[in-house]
Amino acid sequence: MDEHFDEHMEPDEEEIWPNEEEWPLQRRHSFIFKFTAVVVLVAFVALALGNVWPFFSLPSLDYIVESYRLGRDPLIRELQEAVVQVRVETRAKNNAGLKGTGFNIKPDGLIVTNRHVVENAASVTVLFPGRAAYKASGWSSAPVADLAIVSLQGEDLPVVSLGETLPEIGEKMTVIGNPLNFIKMVVQGDVVNYWRVSELPEPLLEIDAPVRRGSSGSPVFNGDGRAVAVIFATVEDSEGGEGRGLAVPVALLRDLWETP
């Protein structure tokens, strides 16, 4: 395999618009002309600034509504508390910043994320949305799997439990992450396939759930609320739909316990 919600201002009092039939024809034409001109200008500026891709990459309204609906479940709300945003300053000349997702598994702060999120990091900051931000005291990566852990110096931080038993094909999973600068978005999908990789002792999970930019490091929860895998990539849908999530089992984290 990168929290913003629009603020809406409500008018102080209700506006009353005249009946369209009462508008002079010239006024209606002027309004249409001005409106069209504004749209063209905005599109031109977006093209000039290179901002068209982010605009058209926004998730659909159905995606946002479904996340909100799922997030009303008490168990999922509790799990969301331990899902974090991982912010990385790289060693590149321009000190470029990257964002990914992670989740906490120890009260003093031990964050699970992807190796590719932190592998070129000069510094790592972990943000618990609505709580606090922590500078990482260290991080390390698995030698083969796309997994990493980030150590913090916190206390009484929200945590999730790990479940090392692999789910069955057809079992429903819940993924919580921070795609496209939204935070703690929730999607669900079934395990549809296992991928065997010769270098890994455990298979990768393919999950029929939409995964977008910024979801790297998102935890995959089973029905008991235990994290069983970590999203690290997508599998393209052959029918041209949204990419499915590809996840690394948390059992592969055992290589990191000795080097936090």
List the domain boundaries for the chain. 24-50, 74-151, 172-252
Residue for token pair 């002079």: 24
Residues near 120 by beta carbon (within 8 Å), at least 6 away in sequence: 88, 90, 91, 92
Give me the pLDDT at residue 215, please: 86
**Of residues 231, 173, 185, 217, the one with CA closest to residue 58:** 185
How many other C-beta atoms are found inside a 10 Å radius of the C-beta of residue 22?
8
Tokens found for residue 73: 């479940």
**DSSP β-bridge partners for residue 207:** 191, 245
Task: Place 242 in a pLDDT band, splitting at 50, 70 and 90.
Answer: low
Residue for token pair 């945590």: 159
Give me the pLDDT at residue 185, please: 92
DSSP strand pairing (83-90 vs 97-104): antiparallel
Q: What is the mean pLDDT of residues 7-33?
A: 42
- Residue 183's φ and ψ, nearest 5 degrees, are -120, 145
DSSP class of residue 52?
Answer: H
State the architecture of 74-151 in CATH terms. Answer: Beta Barrel (2.40)
C-alpha dist (Å) from residue 105 to 3, 119, 219, 230:
22, 20, 11, 13
Q: Do domains 74-151 and 172-252 have the same CATH topology?
A: yes
C-alpha dist (Å) from residue 95 to 92, 100, 121, 123, 236:
5, 16, 9, 10, 31
Out of 2-6, 74-78, 193-197, pick the least confident: 2-6
pLDDT over 90 at 9, yes or no: no
Q: What is the mean pLDDT of residues 75-92?
A: 92
Give me the pLDDT at residue 2, please: 41
Of residues 256 and 121, more confidently modeled: 121
Residue for token pair 């999970």: 205
Out of 7-16, 136-145, 161-170, 180-189, pick the least confident: 7-16
pTM (2 d.p.): 0.74
Of residues 46 and 187, more confidently modeled: 187
pLDDT over 90 at 16, yes or no: no
Tokens found for residue 241: 């739909």
- Outline where DSSP puts E strands in 48-130: 83-90, 97-104, 110-113, 121-128
Of residues 224 and 96, more confidently modeled: 224
pLDDT over 50 at 54, yes or no: no
Give me the pLDDT at residue 96, please: 65
Q: Which CATH superfamily is domain 172-252 in?
A: Trypsin-like serine proteases (2.40.10.10)
Give me the pLDDT at residue 227, please: 97
Q: Are 147 and 141 in contact (CB under 8 A)?
A: yes
DSSP class of residue 162?
Answer: B
Of residues 62 and 148, more confidently modeled: 148
* Integer Cα distance of 167 and 224 in angstroms: 11
Q: What is the mean pLDDT of residues 72-90?
A: 94
Q: What is the mean pLDDT of residues 55-82?
A: 82
Task: Place 159 in a pLDDT band, splitting at 50, 70 and 90.
Answer: very high
